[in-house]
Amino acid sequence: MFSTLNLLRPLLAVLILFLPLYPKFPLLNVSHTYVAIRLDDLVVAFCFIIWFIRQTKNHFPFFKQKITWLFVAYFIAIFASFLHAVFILQTTPTNLLFLHLFRRFEYVSVFFITIDAIKTKKDLGFPFIFLALATIGVSIYGFGQKYLHWPVVSTMNSEFSKGQLLEMNEWTRISSTFAGHYDLAAYLSMVLVIIGGMIAAFSGSQNFFLFPLWLIAFYTLTLTASRISIFALWGSLSLTFFFLRRPLLIVPLSLFVAVSIFQSKDLSQRLIATVPSIQSQISRLWPSPTASPTPTPTYAPPPPPVVAARPVVNVYRPPRATATPTPTVFRHAPPEEIPVDADAGVARSGEIRFNAEWPRAITAYRKNPLLGTGLGSITLATDNDYLRSLGESGLWGTITFFTIIAFFIFRTLRSPSKINLIFLGALLVHLANAVFIDVFEASKTAYVFWIFLGIYHQTLTWPKKS
C-alpha cells in the first residue's frame, strides 16, 4: 500500500502546476452570485482528503505546531462574523456567506498540505521546479493571447464567468490562464521576487536558466500593464537585494524597470494618466482653502430662431432620374490606429475605488467594527484587501489574519537566512499588491500564496545556514 505522506509530494506538484494553469471554467453555478464551483475546487478537496486521512492516522500532529493555533484564532473570528451576518444582520443570502467562508477554509487548506509535503531541505527543490514550469506555461499562454489570438476565459462579469472563450483585441491587457490581468500581475510579481532573489543569493549553473525565466516572466508582467504590481515588484525586489547585502543590484534593476515602462506604450500611458487622476482625487477630498468656489452654471435654453414668413408659390418641376449611389466600403482602422483613452480608463478605475468600493467597505466596518458584515457581504471586489478585511470580518478577523502574516515577518527578522529573506521579499510584494488588488480572495493568487507560505514556514523551522 502507498504511504499518504509520500503521496502528498506529487499532489503538491499537481497543485503548483494545475492551479495557475487551468482556466476558470465553471462546473456548478451558485445562486445570488456568478462565482462558480470549478474543477480546482475538486482537486483541492481531493488533496485535502488525503491530508486529512494522514492526520487522522497520526492523531492530528498539526495541532502541535504553533502556527496552527494562529489559524484557529482566525477561523473562530471569521466563523463568528458568519454567524453574526446570518442571524443578526440578515442582509446577505446565507448561501453566499457560507460560500465565501468555505472558500477561505479551502484556500488555507493548501498551506497545511504543503507543510506536510515538505519535511526536509531535500524536499525544497521540487516545488521550485514545478513553480518554474507553471510560470513558463503562464507566460507562453499570455504571449499566445497577445500575438496569436488565443482565447481568454474571464470572470470579470456575469456573462464572461459562464466560461465563454473570448478573443482579446490589440489593446486588451493579457490575463493568460487567470481570470483577470490584475490577478496574473500579482502572481508574477511574487514569482519574480523569488526568482530574482535566488539569482542574487546563490551563484551556480542554475542561474543560466533562472535569469532567462525572470526576463520572460517580467515581460509577461509588462503586458498586463498593472502599475501597482510593477512598482510593488521594484520596491520588494530592491528590499530583497538590500536584505541579501547586494545593494548594487538595485541600480540595474531600477534602470531595467524604467526602460521597460518606457518601452511599454500601454503601461507608460497609464502611468502618465495616473498623475492627474490622483491630483483630482486629492483636490476632491481636500480642497484648497484659498480656492474660491466656482459658481454652478445654470442652463438656459436658447430662444427659438425667428424665420421670416415667405409666400408659398407652386412651381412645377419635372421629375429627374435619381442616380444609383455608389456603394462605399468602410473598413476598420488597423489595431495600432485605434485611439485608446488611457486618461478615461485610469480615471474610471480610480473613481470606482475611491467613490464606490472603498466607501462601501468602510460603511460595512462601521456597522459592526468588531465582526464586520461577513465574508462576501460587500460584493465581489473592493480592490483593497485591508479595507475589505475590516468591512467583512471586522477588527477581530483582521487582527487575527495579519497576526499570521506578522508571525512570518518576526521569525525571519529574528533568524534571517538567505532563503527566508527571499521569501520575506515575496511576502512584502504580496502585501503591497493588496493595497489595490484583492489578492487574498482571488482564487488563483490565494492558492499560490498559501502554498508559498507553507514552504516559507518549513524553511523557518530549519537551522540557520549562512
Q: How far apart are CA 127 and CA 452, in angstroms?
A: 9
Q: Nearest to residue 432, comparing CAs of 173, 181, 227?
A: 227
Q: CB under 8 Å to 423, separation ≥6 — which residues?
A: 194, 408, 412, 452, 455, 456, 459
Weakest-pLDDT range from 196-200, 294-298, 406-410: 294-298
Mean per-residue pLDDT over the chain, rounded = 84
pLDDT tier for residue 350 given thresholds of 50, 70 and 90: confident
Q: Over pLDDT 70: what percentage of the chain?
A: 79
Residue 296 has pLDDT above 90, yes or no: no
DSSP notation for 195-262: HHHHHHH--STTHHHHHHHHHHHHHHHHHHT-HHHHHHHHHHHHHHHHHTT-GGGHHHHHHHHHHHHH
Q: How far apart are CA 108 and CA 301, in angstroms?
A: 62
pTM value? Answer: 0.84
Contact predicate 409/430, CB 8 Å? no
> What is the per-residue pLDDT for 330?
36
Residue 464 has pLDDT above 80, yes or no: no
Residue 458 has pLDDT above 90, yes or no: yes
HSE on the CB side for 135, CA within 13 Å?
Answer: 30
> pLDDT for 254-270, tens place per residue?
999 999 998 888 787 77
Amino acid type, 404: I
Read off φ and ψ for residue 90, nearest 5 degrees: 55, 40
Q: Averaged over 337-361, what is the pLDDT?
A: 69
> What is the per-residue pLDDT for 221?
96
> What is the per-residue pLDDT for 158?
67
Q: Which cell is 390 given? A: 475590516
Contact predicate 213/137, CB 8 Å? no
pLDDT tier for residue 137 given thresholds of 50, 70 and 90: very high
